[in-house]
Chain A
Amino acid sequence: MKLTRSALILLGLLGLLLLAAILGPIGSPYDVGELSDNHLLPPSSHHWLGTDLHGRDLLTRLMYGARISLLVGFVGASISLLVGVVYGLIAGYTGGRVDNLMMRFVDVLYALPRIVLVIVLISLFDLKLKAMLDGTLFAPFATHARLLLLFVGLGLVEWLTLARIVRAQVLTIKERPFVLSSRLIGQSTPVILVRQILPQVLPIVITYLTLALPAVILEESFLSFLGLGVQAPLASWGTLLADGASMLNPVETPWWLIVFPAAVLVGCLLLFNLLGDQLRRMGADAGR
């Protein structure tokens, strides 16, 4: 698969975004939690994107928020990828009644308000998980219990589509001669699945990743916006936007607290969606 020029540009932009998230907070003259008396300053040469209610620099907060949003996106999408691929491989390769049952289960989950169930799961299990982790080896993670739940919860929301796609692929691939011959020479099922079939479905999986990533980022921001996702002292883009939205008033709204988080979020989602489009188009061309 050769990358087109626009795909390269998009990848470059993505790299810049990652760089800003990783290095930005280090290079910033302000500390993310640093409170100051400069409440609600509009954008200026000191604070490029202005400051919030507590005098914190918005640009610094956005770059920290990028870390959380992207982290949840990557981990959540990877979990959905893992679950979806394994599920699809097993269902497709086994076939018959097992396949029928497994896909029926996917259909059922499709028809449920999954994000609503995730809300219930996350907001109710947060403290429970924290208590469970405390006093064990994993105690350092206890403070981030909610983040862990977000990873798992959102990962479990997004795997269904991939499971369907992978299954459909496997159904045709498993009848192809090279799979039949590897079965003939006595390769075991796991070996066939991993060595023969997995490489064939990988391009689709990677393309799907560019779809799952923005979806997970969007869902995390959605939950955080409602106050049910990432919680202080951590902040994601959704939290920042919610902070801005809570300052909405008819007299004088600090517009920069809404406009900049909104722009960053839309820009990032657009970037991923464009990238996904490019990859899919290249995949279609390659398949021809």
Chain B
Amino acid sequence: MLSFVTRRLLSSIPVVLAVLALCFLLVRIAPGSPFATERALDPRTKAMLEEKFGLSGSLAEQLVRYGGNVLRGDLGDSLKFRGRTVAEIIGQSLPRSLLLGSISFSLALGLGVPLGAWAAAHYGRKTDSFLNSVALLTLSTPTFVLAPVSVLVFAFGLKLLPPAGWGTLSQLVLPAICLAIPFIGVCARLTRGGLLETLGSDFIRTARAKGVTETKLVYLHALRPAVLPLVAYAGPLAANILTGSLVIEEVFAVPGIGQFFVNGVINRDVFLVSGVVLVYCLLLLLFNLIADWLTALLDPRIRAAS
């Protein structure tokens, strides 16, 4: 198990570095300067600024300098939010996004899995087809559609919840639900599909012959192998929630990492963009690693093979 983890981590390092380099170069090649203001910038001032932030010299020199700094743990300074380091910005904004994301993640799984299991237990009946339609509807309703509509209805129409902001519990409700809903349907469908496949297998027939009740059969015996596709989906789910968060933070004015990322791209804030992409990559790699590890834990066949 340990060798599996180290091997995966080691093979991920070059990928992360490559993505980081690509990102840095893309932002640097792009037209438009992070130092641009309303007035034309004096070339000498520009040169001084570039010198100060370590953006002078050829692209290769800049990249090597930046790469070296990152390896030493220095993500550089933000070019637009003057006087703040990228590490500081990420340190402040990431926990908010993580909190929001993890609530939505739990909601998607916590509602999706029981719904899917319920549908599978009623396979072919009215409940099943009704739940299927609901799942299809939620997964066809993207986050960026839900967000403005729910603000319109629940914040301004019914005046139940605050429309935006960050800090209180009630301000968390709408963004977390909007971020979770599209993925509830996906989770439900994966659970249902996995369960139906498992329920047709031999060990279930044996258990049924042994006299295990149907409820126990579905929720206890079959669920464990049936959640395997769901575990495999955990990585992509995290990625989707991460990108969905960009919109949610925009609409609900959540000062999370996504806002800084979008601003950074628009402002050509090279260190900020690269830093956030680095964090995103590391997060997702971690998630996929955990998912693979869980798969091995749940599936005895894979455990034996590794």
Interface string of B111-142 (1 = CB under 8 A from A): 00000000000000000000000001101111
Measured between beta carbons, the chain B residues less than 8 angstroms from A249 are 156
Measured between beta carbons, the chain A residues less than 8 angstroms from B26 are 120-121, 124-125
For chain A, the bracket of interface size reads 35 or more
18 pairs of residues in contact across A and B, judged by CB atoms under 8 Å: A108-B15, A116-B243, A117-B22, A117-B277, A120-B27, A121-B26, A123-B266, A127-B32, A214-B140, A245-B147, A245-B151, A248-B151, A248-B163, A258-B149, A259-B149, A259-B152, A262-B145, A270-B137
Measured between beta carbons, the chain A residues less than 8 angstroms from B140 are 214, 266, 269-270, 273
Task: Return A203 CB to nearest CB of chain B, in Å.
Answer: 19
Measured between beta carbons, the chain B residues less than 8 angstroms from A262 are 145, 148-149
One of B68-76, B213-221, B245-253 contacting the partner: B245-253
One of A36-44, A88-96, A217-225 contacting the partner: A217-225
Which chain B residues (224-260) contact chain A, with CB distance < 8 Å?
A: 235-236, 239, 242-243, 246-247, 250-251
User: Residue among B27, B31, B141, B144 with the most chain A CB within 10 A?
Assistant: B144
**Cβ-closest chain B residue relative to A251:** B156
Measured between beta carbons, the chain B residues less than 8 angstroms from A270 are 136-137, 140
A241 touches B163 (CB 8 A): no
Task: Return A279 CB to nearest CB of chain B, in Å.
Answer: 14
Measured between beta carbons, the chain A residues less than 8 angstroms from B265 are 119-120, 123-124, 228
Task: Return A256 CB to nearest CB of chain B, in Å.
Answer: 11
Measured between alpha carbons, how far is A266 from B182 in the docked complex, in Å? 11
B262 touches A245 (CB 8 A): no
Interface string of A218-251 (1 = CB under 8 A from B): 1001100110100000000010010011001110
Given A117-B19, A225-B144, also A125-B247 (CB < 8 A):
no
Given A245-B251, A258-B149, A269-B142, also A117-B23 (CB < 8 A):
yes
A111 touches B235 (CB 8 A): yes
A128 an interface residue at 8 Å Cβ cutoff? yes
Measured between beta carbons, the chain A residues less than 8 angstroms from B261 are 116
A226 touches B246 (CB 8 A): yes
**Cβ-closest chain A residue relative to B137:** A270
A120 touches B136 (CB 8 A): no
How many residues of chain B have a CB within 8 Å of chain A? 49
Task: Return A269 CB to nearest CB of chain B, in Å.
Answer: 4
Given A117-B19, A120-B265, A124-B26, also A274-B136 (CB < 8 A):
yes
Measured between alpha carbons, how far is A121 from B265 in the docked complex, in Å? 10
Task: Return B269 CB to nearest CB of chain A, in Å.
Answer: 12
B273 an interface residue at 8 Å Cβ cutoff? yes
Q: Residues of B at under 8 Å CB distance from A?
A: 12, 15, 19, 22-23, 26-27, 29-32, 136-137, 139-145, 147-149, 151-152, 155-156, 163, 235-236, 239, 242-243, 246-247, 250-251, 261-262, 265-266, 268, 273, 277, 280-281, 284-285, 288
User: Residue among B27, B137, B265 with the most chain A CB within 10 A?
Assistant: B265
A127 touches B31 (CB 8 A): yes
Measured between alpha carbons, how far is A138 from B12 in the docked complex, in Å? 39
Measured between alpha carbons, how far is A147 from B242 in the docked complex, in Å? 24
B144 contact from A115, A123, A124, A238, Cβ within 8 A: A238
Measured between beta carbons, the chain A residues less than 8 angstroms from B139 are 273
A185 an interface residue at 8 Å Cβ cutoff? no
Measured between alpha carbons, how far is A53 from B267 in the docked complex, in Å? 27
The 7 closest A-B pairs by CB, nearest first: A124-B30, A245-B148, A269-B140, A270-B140, A113-B280, A225-B144, A111-B288
Task: Return B260 CB to nearest CB of chain A, in Å.
Answer: 13
Measured between beta carbons, the chain B residues less than 8 angstroms from A265 are 142, 145
15 additional contacts, CB 8 Å, given A119-B265, A222-B142?
A111-B12, A113-B280, A113-B284, A116-B280, A120-B26, A120-B273, A120-B277, A127-B30, A221-B142, A228-B265, A248-B163, A262-B149, A266-B145, A269-B142, A273-B136
Task: Return A216 CB to nearest CB of chain B, in Å.
Answer: 12
A124 touches B27 (CB 8 A): yes
Which chain A residues (150-194) contact chain B, with CB distance < 8 Å?
A: none
B29 touches A124 (CB 8 A): yes
B148 touches A222 (CB 8 A): no
Measured between beta carbons, the chain A residues less than 8 angstroms from B262 are 119, 226, 228
Task: Return A148 CB to nearest CB of chain B, in Å.
Answer: 16
Given A110-B236, A120-B26, A125-B30, also A241-B281 (CB < 8 A):
no
Measured between beta carbons, the chain B residues less than 8 angstroms from A228 are 262, 265
